[in-house]
Homo-oligomer: A and B are copies of this chain.
């Protein structure tokens, strides 16, 4: 067998494969003039993307398995019939995405297998490349859904019953695109889980680092807030008789900014991403407003403190505007630390290639955090241009940046696949 340092992936082939998948569900962004990707989970576009990747898996001769929640696993046999090394991420997207988010980990995993085929390398442990259903959570409101079901955090029937804003039931959407598989959804604990992903932030690029060795994922808390005021005529209703649900949402939005400005919650990030007033017309005081709050924090204690402050903010705003306010938790995860053993291997593999690297906390949620419950897990972050902008057609990592990440994925996967 060739020595590990002689093995390498083909950067041009990797990038071409990313671009090919990026053409599925692509659209022309009017504002920027760039091509973006819209493959919302379980839409026809997602189905087309899934068929595209499954075809690539079959070309590599992988044993393809689709489970009941629509997760897809492609298995390359090892010399021993033992727990595999699992390489995975997602190919669903937000409505305004680039071509790298998630796809780099899946297409990169397939490129690792291609490189091994080219070199005639067989590993001791099987290698499995997987993509998981609805990681983004944009359509059905729960992110990391497929990996959460596979690892047992969310029961299958709960996932099946989720509905989108049009009332479409997730199980029906899965069946409609032909990906409600037969295989058992719970996955047997693999030997290790690896995910290569773009940083989706500015830090690596700003510090001129080639790679980030992900130490863990920050805590995430999502609220859906429903504000009920009183819709009324904009021209005739005196200001002091109003109960404006839109104004209440605005107070919450700016209240979140004040929490950040207070500096009392460390690296807290807070976003009101969705704002949906009713009836949403120029001359009617909004009677109802549904909005979302997204909180992130790399420190669990500071996250809990911030959540308490946010609930107090809700109460203050409801009292100030004379509105009824209710909220429900649509996502909540504590910080997830990744395995020391995997982090050391990632750092070693990067150093062996003379790549500059540093530990970094993931700002986003990833499928890897679900697998961290089951097995030693690690992530490799690739820097992005344009301040690491993501969920946007301007999302961009270069050929070299992607190749560094996937070559490191190759080395760590091989390392772990040979480990007894």
Which residues on A are within 8 Å of B, measured CB to CB?
31, 94-96, 136-138, 141, 143, 199-202, 218, 220, 222, 224, 228, 230-239, 241, 244, 246-247, 249-251, 253-254, 257, 260, 269-277, 279-289, 292, 294, 296, 330, 362-365, 387-392
Contacts and interface: CB of A to CB of B under 8 A. Distances in A.
Nearest to A218: B235
A90 to B, nearest CB: 14
A244 B239 CA distance: 27
Given A218-B235, A364-B235, A283 B273 contact: yes
6 contacts: A200-B235, A202-B241, A233-B364, A235-B294, A239-B269, A275-B275
A351 to B, nearest CB: 25
A254 B257 contact: no
Contacts of A244: 271
Q: How many copies does the complex hold?
A: 2
Contacts of A247: 253-254, 257, 272
Given A230-B389, A283-B138, A202 B238 contact: yes
- The 5 A-B residue pairs with the shortest CB-CB distance in the complex, in nearest-first order: A236-B363, A201-B236, A250-B250, A234-B271, A282-B292
A352 B249 CA distance: 50
Contact of A282 (B222, B238, B392): B222
Contacts of A273: 234, 246, 277, 280-286
Given A246-B275, A275-B246, A281 B236 contact: no
A96 B235 contact: no
A390 B241 CA distance: 13
Contacts of A363: 233, 235-237
A94 B281 contact: yes
A392 B242 CA distance: 14
Given A239-B269, A280-B273, A283-B143, A228 B137 contact: no
A279 B292 CA distance: 13
Contact of A392 (B232, B269, B272): B232
Given A254-B254, A363-B235, A281 B285 contact: no
A280 B275 contact: yes
Given A282-B273, A330-B282, A387-B241, A296 B234 contact: yes
Which interface residue of A141, A260, A296 has the most chain B CB atoms within 10 A?
A: A296
Contacts of A292: 281-282
A279 B249 contact: no
A199 B232 CA distance: 13
Contact of A274 (B272, B277, B389): B277
Contact of A235 (B239, B281, B330, B365): B365
A269 B231 contact: no
A287 B393 CA distance: 12
Contact of A284 (B96, B141, B222, B281): B96
A75 B400 CA distance: 80
A391 B284 contact: yes
Contacts of A200: 233, 235-236
Given A250-B249, A254-B254, A199 B283 contact: no
B390 A232 contact: yes
Contacts of A282: 137-138, 141, 222, 224, 273-274, 292, 294, 330
Contacts of A294: 234-235, 282-283
A281 B97 CA distance: 13
A238 B279 contact: no
Contacts of A220: 235
Contacts of A285: 271, 273
A275 B220 CA distance: 26
Given A202-B237, A239-B257, A275-B286, 5 more contacts: A231-B392, A233-B389, A275-B277, A282-B294, A282-B330
